[in-house]
Structure 1
Amino acid sequence: MSAGPPEIGWRVTWLGHSSFLLQGGGRNLLIDPVFSEHCAPLPFPSLKRLVPTPCSLDELPGIDAVLLTHSHYDHLDLPTLRTLGYQTRLVVAEGHAGWLARKGFTEVLELPWFSSSEIFEGLRVTSTPAQHFTARTPFDRNHGHWCGWLLEHAGVKLWHAGDSGYCPVFREIGERFGPIDFGMIPIGAYSPRWFMKPMHMIPEEAVQVFEDTRCRRAVAMHWGTFRLTDEPLGEPPMRLVAGLERKGIQSGRFMVGRVGESWDVRR
Structure 2
Amino acid sequence: MAVSFTTSVKKMIGDRVPESAALKPHHVLSKSGAFSRFRNIHASWNHNMDGSVIPVFFKVAALVLRGKLKFPDASPPTVAVRKPTFLSSRRASKDLRATWLGHACYYVEFPSGLRVLFDPVFEDACAPVSFLGPKRFTERPCSISEIPIVDAVVISHSHYDHLSAPSVHEIKKHHPGAHFFVGLGLEKWFRSCGIDKVTELDWWEDADVTLTPNAPPAEAKSAPITARFSCLPAQHSSGRTGFDKDKTLWCSWGVSSEGKSVFFGGDTGYRAVPESIEGDDYAPEHADLPVCPEFKQIGALRGPFDLGLIPIGAYSPRFIMSSVHANPFDAVEIFRDTRCKRAMGIHWGTWVLTFEEVLEPPRLLREALGRRGIEETGVFDVCDIGESRDF
SS of the residue corresponding to residue 47 of structure 1 reads coil
For residue 2 of structure 1, report the CA deviation from its aligned partner. Answer: 4.8
CA contact (8 A) 2:137 2:351 kept: yes
CA distance in structure 1 between the partners assigned to 2:373 and 2:357 by the alignment: 25
SS of the residue corresponding to residue 122 of structure 1 reads strand
CA distance in structure 2 between the partners assigned to 1:101 and 1:56 by the alignment: 24
Q: Which residue of 2 aligns with 1:198?
A: 323
Of the three residues 176, 180, 202, the one matched with 2:305 is: 180
> For the pair shown, which has the larger CA radius of gyration, 1 or 2?
2
CA contact (8 A) 1:14 1:260 kept: yes
Q: TM-score of the superposition, structure 2-length normalised?
A: 0.66
RMSD: 1.4
For residue 53 of structure 1, report the CA deviation from its aligned partner. Answer: 1.8
SS of the residue corresponding to residue 16 of structure 1 reads coil
1:49 aligns with 2:136: yes
Q: Which consecutive residues of structure 1, in runs of 5 or more, have no partner in the other structure? A: none
CA contact (8 A) 2:311 2:347 kept: yes
Q: Which residue of 2 aligns with 1:140?
A: 244
User: Which of structures 1 and 2 has the larger relative contact order (alpha carbons within 8 angstroms, sep 6+)?
Assistant: 2
CA contact (8 A) 1:127 1:150 kept: yes
| Structure 1 residues 46 and 100: CA distance shift in structure 2, 3 A | closer
Between 1:174-183 and 1:1-10, the stretch displaced more is: 1-10
Of the three residues 233, 236, 241, the one matched with 2:366 is: 241
CA contact (8 A) 1:179 1:215 kept: yes
Q: Which residue of 2 aligns with 1:131?
A: 235
CA contact (8 A) 1:35 1:53 kept: yes
Q: Deviations over 1:119-151 (max 9, x none)?
A: 234211101100000000111001100111101
CA distance in structure 2 between the partners assigned to 1:85 and 1:241 by the alignment: 39
Q: Deviations over 1:164-213 (max 9, x none)?
A: 11011111111112221110000000111221111001111111111111
CA distance in structure 1 between the partners assigned to 2:114 and 2:303 by the alignment: 23
For residue 245 of structure 1, report the CA deviation from its aligned partner. Answer: 0.8
Q: TM-score of the superposition, structure 1-length normalised?
A: 0.95
The structure with the largest strand share of the pair is 1
For residue 44 of structure 1, report the CA deviation from its aligned partner. Answer: 4.1
CA distance in structure 2 between the partners assigned to 1:190 and 1:59 by the alignment: 32
Between 1:252-261 and 1:23-32, the stretch displaced more is: 23-32
For residue 62 of structure 1, report the CA deviation from its aligned partner. Answer: 2.3
CA distance in structure 2 between the partners assigned to 1:37 and 1:245 by the alignment: 35
Matches within 5 A, 1:1-267: 1-3=85-87, 4-5=89-90, 6-24=92-110, 25-44=112-131, 47-85=134-172, 87=176, 88-120=178-210, 121-166=225-270, 167-251=292-376, 252-265=378-391
Q: Which letter maps to 2:207?
A: S
SS of the residue corresponding to residue 154 of structure 2 reads strand
SS of the residue corresponding to residue 238 of structure 1 reads helix
